[in-house]
């Protein structure tokens, strides 16, 4: 081994940056690989048992010309420690072994979101802004976002347990219902609860409606596709919820949105809103960037700012409840004036 090139790198101050780059690139490649394996069905194919190359080639190669590329892709997975090649064929290992479990689908979706949404967001935002362009909702996979948001499910369900009545007739309006999982939870908690979900993205609305039918809740729940701002309000609901979507609305329009939502509530009704807020962490900085750089959306709120907007919209007794220790994930609760 010749040391002259190494000494040259040291003198130029490049050796340590190169080591760090090599480490960071491996992390990036691993995330990309996991996202690809999940999105393209490889993890699902390997979730039950190892598969020999011939079976994988049958499922993932349209013709003979793709076999060498598939072999190279699988070998990369072995190098990254996410696949292993045994006598029976290729099998999952490392982090992949956990991600194939159905209960960890939200983690897999989060990895897909980082690779497919966050990386292009960081990479291309300056170029878009130079052209006077922003991102749009069509640039994201709504079903993927609905899946990844379920990572917050334990904290969301705790909020429902705390604020929702466990019995008695309750009418719920859920704005941005995602997969419908929280409508399901609320309906199972209270057998007299009925719910309407309003979902902005058509494919997500269809997914949520299908889920609710699968859960045998179509007699008490329904999902409609549309923008809540376009719906004429009627004071028919006891509870209105917005879970993790206030940043889908521009900051300047949020007070008007909240006042509009109040008009859907009966006297004494409750608005329950959950959201991440600005706190300077890496996760919230990326979410804040997404909201700020997406047309028709807005950045993450500051807790005091959102509380003030709710009060200016007419809600009383506005309370803030921190949901996740060490993170700026909050619930905001306000009520309408009850009939005396």
Q: What residues make up the domain containing 67? A: 4-100
pLDDT band at 237 (very low <50, low <70, confident <90, very high): very high
| Mean pLDDT, rounded, for 205-231 | 95
- What the block records as the tokens of 74 is 């699988």
Q: What is the dihedral of CA 257, 258, 264, 270, to 10 degrees?
A: 160
In a domain, 188, yes or no: yes
The pTM for the full model equals 0.86
Cβ atoms of 280 and 300 within 8 Å: the answer is no
Residues 280 and 208 in one domain: yes
CATH number at residue 238: 3.40.50.150
In a domain, 117, yes or no: no
| Backbone Cα Rg of the chain | 24
pLDDT band at 295 (very low <50, low <70, confident <90, very high): very high
- Contacts of residue 139, Cβ cutoff 8 Å, sequence gap at least 6: 117, 120, 294
In a domain, 241, yes or no: yes
In a domain, 65, yes or no: yes
The CA distance from 317 to 339, in Å, is 15
Residues 22 and 160 in one domain: no
Q: Which one of 44, 78, 100 terminates a domain? A: 100
Model pLDDT, residue 338: 73
pLDDT band at 23 (very low <50, low <70, confident <90, very high): confident
CA distances from 154 to 181, 182, 198, 255 (A): 12, 11, 22, 29
Alpha-helical runs (H) found in the chain = 4-11, 15-39, 42-45, 53-60, 67-80, 95-99, 105-113, 119-130, 142-148, 153-163, 181-189, 202-214, 254-262, 282-293, 303-312
Residues 151 and 294 in one domain: yes
Model pLDDT, residue 66: 94
pLDDT band at 228 (very low <50, low <70, confident <90, very high): very high
Model pLDDT, residue 324: 80
Q: Which residue has the tokens 């960081």?
A: 122
Residue 2 has pLDDT above 70, yes or no: no
SS3 52: coil
Q: Which one of 79, 100, 121 terminates a domain? A: 100
- What the block records as the tokens of 253 is 């329009």
Q: What is the mean pLDDT of the chain?
A: 92
Residue 146 has pLDDT above 90, yes or no: no
Cβ atoms of 140 and 286 within 8 Å: the answer is no
Beta bridge partners of residue 198, listed in sequence order = 175, 224
Number of domains in the chain: 2
Model pLDDT, residue 185: 96
pLDDT band at 4 (very low <50, low <70, confident <90, very high): low
Residues 158 and 58 in one domain: no
Residue 15 has pLDDT above 60, yes or no: no
Model pLDDT, residue 6: 60
Residues 150 and 61 in one domain: no
Nearest Cα to Cα of residue 198 among 216, 172, 217, 161: 172
In a domain, 114, yes or no: no
Cβ atoms of 312 and 255 within 8 Å: the answer is yes
Residues 149 and 270 in one domain: yes
pLDDT band at 163 (very low <50, low <70, confident <90, very high): very high
Beta bridge partners of residue 90, listed in sequence order = 51, 85
Model pLDDT, residue 294: 97
- What the block records as the tokens of 265 is 């509530």
| Mean pLDDT, rounded, for 130-158 | 92
pLDDT tens digits, one per residue of 29-60 = 999 999 999 999 999 999 988 999 999 999 99
Cβ atoms of 46 and 90 within 8 Å: the answer is yes
pLDDT tens digits, one per residue of 256-287 = 999 999 999 999 999 999 999 998 788 899 99
In a domain, 244, yes or no: yes
CATH number at residue 12: 1.10.10.10
- What the block records as the tokens of 233 is 């309000």
DSSP result, 255-273: HHHHHHHHTTEEEEEEEEE
The CA distance from 230 to 260, in Å, is 10
Residues 87 and 187 in one domain: no
In a domain, 136, yes or no: no
- In the chain, DSSP finds a helix count (H) and a strand count (E) of 15, 9
In a domain, 8, yes or no: yes
Residues 93 and 211 in one domain: no
């Amino acid at each position: 081994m010749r040391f002259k090139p190494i000494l040259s790198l040291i003198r130029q101050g490049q050796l340590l940056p190169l080591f760090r780059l090599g480490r960071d690139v491996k992390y990036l490649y691993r995330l990309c690989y996991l996202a690809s394996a999940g999105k393209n069905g490889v993890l699902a194919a390997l979730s039950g048992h190892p598969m020999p190359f011939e079976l994988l080639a049958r499922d993932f190669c349209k013709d003979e010309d793709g076999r060498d590329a598939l072999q190279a892709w699988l070998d990369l997975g072995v190098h990254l420690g996410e696949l292993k090649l045994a006598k029976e064929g290729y099998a999952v290992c490392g982090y992949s072994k956990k991600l194939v479990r159905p209960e960890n689908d939200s983690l897999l979706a989060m990895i897909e979101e980082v690779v497919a949404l966050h990386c292009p967001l960081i990479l291309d935002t300056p170029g878009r802004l130079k052209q006077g362009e922003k991102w749009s909702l069509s640039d994201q996979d709504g079903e993927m976002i609905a899946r990844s948001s379920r990572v917050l499910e334990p904290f969301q369900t705790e909020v429902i347990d705390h604020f929702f009545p466990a019995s008695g007739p309750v009418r719920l309006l859920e704005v941005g219902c995602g997969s419908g999982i929280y409508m399901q939870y609320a309906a199972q908690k209270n057998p007299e609860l009925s719910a309407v979900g309003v979902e902005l993205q058509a494919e997500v609305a269809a997914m949520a409606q299908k889920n609710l039918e699968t859960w045998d809740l179509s007699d008490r729940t329904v999902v409609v596709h549309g923008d809540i701002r376009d719906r004429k309000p009627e004071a028919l609901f006891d509870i209105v919820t917005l879970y993790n979507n206030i940043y889908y609305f521009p900051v300047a329009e949020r007070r008007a949105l909240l006042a509009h939502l109040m008009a859907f509530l009966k006297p004494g009704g409750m608005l329950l809103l959950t959201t991440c807020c600005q706190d300077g962490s890496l996760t919230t900085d990326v979410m804040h960037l997404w909201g700020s750089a997406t047309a028709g959306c807005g950045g993450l709120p500051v807790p005091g700012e959102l509380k003030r907007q709710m009060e200016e919209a007419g809600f009383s007794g506005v309370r803030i409840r921190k949901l996740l220790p060490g993170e700026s994930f909050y619930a905001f609760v306000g009520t309408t004036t009850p009939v005396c």
